[in-house]
Chains A and B, each alone.
Chain A
Amino acid sequence: MNTEAATATQNKSQDGSKPLLEVSDLNVYYGQSLIVRGLSFKIFPGQAVCLLGRNGMGKTTTLKALMGLLRDCTGNITFDGIPITHYPPHLRACAGIGYVPQGREIFPHLTVEENLLIGLESVPTKERVIPEFVYELFPALRPFLKRLGGDLSGGQQQQLAIARALVAGPKLLLLDEPTEGIQPSIIIEIEEAISRIQKEWGVSVLLVEQYFEFAQSLADYFYLMENGSLIMEGLTGQMDEEKVRSHLSV
């Protein structure tokens, strides 16, 4: 870790609870090249954490490794007390991690309703009912239930992707640039929804962003990533704006 940037603060829990997600010394490779270098961080229950950084710094790669999509990695990932380092993606989902990937990746040929039902796959119950809170968070989805997911606009698809991750009631929500390419009015809706999920229901959120403002308004704690390593961390409230901005601007 860069000594100049390493902040004195460490991510600590306010009430002494154990971290929900603990990543230690995570290295991720694409073939021969090391993309994520020795990453260690924590997320506590109910906390909203933002991973900031410019394009190509390894943020998305980190999320994919957390979800188990990239198998070429070393290090340890503990989620909710269980070592999940060797879990395949579907078991991580069943353990309580919801994932909203970059580019949304909804199922274009399934209806909106089926997309939401698919989100329930990680819950063991026989009951296949989409919980009502989804429509409360994203009222825009209800009129489109019978339409194909691929026919929705980008903003609606993003809402659908978040809703799909939420129906199973995850403990941790991974969001990969949820505002990318979306019109400002819908960004506000999404921001409100994420904020409610975290504050009212106590779902932890790991948000990956390259824009400062969105992260600042949502997250309690931030990590700044550059070239595959964390170079700065701290409470968002006490963030040194100038310094962080200098690392984010191209």
Chain B
Amino acid sequence: MTLLFDSLFNGISIGTVLLMAALGLAIVFGLMGVINMAHGELMMLGAYTTFVVQNVFRQWGDPWRDFYIFPALVAAFGVAALVGLILERAVIRFLYGRPLETLLATWGVSLILQQFVRSVNWVLALRLGVFGLLFFGGWWLLAKRVDWPRIKGWVLTLLLVLSTAIGTVGGRLLAQTYALAVTQPWFGAQNRDVTAPRWLRGGIPVGQLFLPNTRLFIISLTLVCILGLYIFLQHTRWGLRIRAVTQNRAMSACVGIPTQTVDALTFAIGSGLAGVAGVAVSLLGSVGPNTGQNYIVDTFMVVVVGGVGKLLGSIVAALGIGIANFLIGSGTLALIFPGVPILTDTLNFFATTSMAKVMVFALIVVFLQFRPRGLFPEKGRTVDA
């Protein structure tokens, strides 16, 4: 009994981390059909945001430092949603309906984001700020001119060159004047640590079991996110618009829905959820530029196993994969079949974290041979309609 409960709890806690990471992707990939390889990096940004918020609150001293996690959740959602919004407006919207190009472009973006957190410092931030201000500010001002379509080409080229040059020169000057203070990277290539607040450090003993508070926190966070998402999608006007646009973009436009706004909003929400997942992940281990890469394959796996376009599918799949991972990885399965030596040996061979992953992925491959459309495929008349 304890064994069952123990496996269930551990499996669910692995599963909820997976689910938290996959929830945003279930919207972006599942509903919108966009293969966003930078999803993991949005999580990573969320985790770094947590790190920053934690440091700010630590300076403020005692009553505050234990509650950084809640503002961190909001900030992580905001930062990731903003970056996601920029990504959608600047790159992805030009690539709708072209999955291969989307995959490559977002993969490139993920590499840029990784390097960005490694090397970002005051100089780089200033250069980006100056460039953005001059380039987009100039664009915005000049676009009001009547002869804009005619001069657009060379004005944009000129603006690009000018603002890059001014940004670079400004950055150089700043770097020379204040040397180390501004050239020091903010985060660097090393991993950074987020310390869980004190009230999250312990755990609750239940019988012979010990339930760590961080795990319980992540489970409840996941529940809140799923519930919030469900209510948003099913019971708000924007939710209805999102569901309509994801089903039939052309027809949605014909009934008067501004589809581009809906696309941008949907993508921003999916990205924001990735940021929230980043907060959860930062509680489990240190935060580094590669944090997101550890999750990207698993999250896509969850969405595919669950059935693309089905939130419920993603939930069941994440919990299933989590429990399978724990059962195989901890060697619990071997304990269940003590009488069969070959089976026990095989199961013990897979009873490490990485080998468990191998086994789970092998099982997923087999599963998809029989159910290529996932756990909850579309059925009935609606498929053809």
Contact = CB atoms under 8 A, between A and B. Distances in A.
B254 A69 contact: yes
B381 A118 contact: no
A136 interface: no
Contact of A118 (B240, B258, B380): B240
Contacts of B380: 150-151
A93 B250 contact: no
Interface string B29-67: 000000000000000000000000000000000000000
Interface stretch (A43-51, A73-81, A100-108): A100-108
A94 interface: yes
Interface stretch (A19-27, A53-61, A109-117): A109-117
A107 B247 contact: yes
A119 B247 contact: no
B237 A150 contact: no
Interface centre among B243, B244, B254 (most CB of A within 10 A): B254
Given A118-B252, A150-B385, A90 B258 contact: yes
A118 B255 CA distance: 7
Which range contains the number of A residues in contact with the other chain? 20 to 34
Contact of A93 (B240, B244, B248, B255): B255
B149 interface: no
B50 to A, nearest CB: 36
Given A108-B382, A108-B385, A150-B381, A99 B240 contact: no
A89 B250 contact: yes
Most buried by B among A90, A105, A128, A157: A90
B192 interface: no
B182 interface: no
B362 interface: no
A50 B158 CA distance: 53
Nearest to B258: A90
Nearest to A89: B253
A90 B382 contact: no
Interface in A131-167: 148-151, 157, 164-165
A177 B225 CA distance: 45
Given A90-B258, A110-B240, A114-B240, A148 B382 contact: yes
Interface of B: 237, 240-241, 243-244, 247-248, 250-259, 380-383, 385
Query: Which 5 pairs across A and B sit closest by C-beta, in order of nearness?
Result: A122-B256, A150-B382, A93-B256, A89-B253, A108-B385
